[in-house]
Amino acid sequence: MPYVNIKITREGASPDQKAALIKGVTDLLADVLDKTPATTFVVIDEVDMEDWGVGGLPVADYRKTLSKPSSV
């Protein structure tokens, strides 16, 4: 009985996108691990941007660093 917990930033993933994610993960577990879809649980948690960090920075600030050209 697999349980998959997916955490994404709260940025407006649509119900259709979430349904596709749930189906895709369920299908992957069925294909790769031969798990039964009826007993596979997928939970999507949406996390507020200010509660998510990457590389020691809030995710919004981290993303700003990605758009800056490097000085190489």
2 as an active site residue: the answer is yes
User: How far is it, in rounded angstroms, from Cα 25 to Cα 66?
Assistant: 28
Q: Give me the catalytic one of 2, 15, 58, 69.
A: 2
Please compute, for residue 14, the number of CA atoms within 13 A of its CA located in the half-sphere on the CB side.
3
Task: Give the 3-state secondary structure of residue 1.
Answer: coil
User: What amino acid positions are annotated as catalytic residues?
Assistant: 2
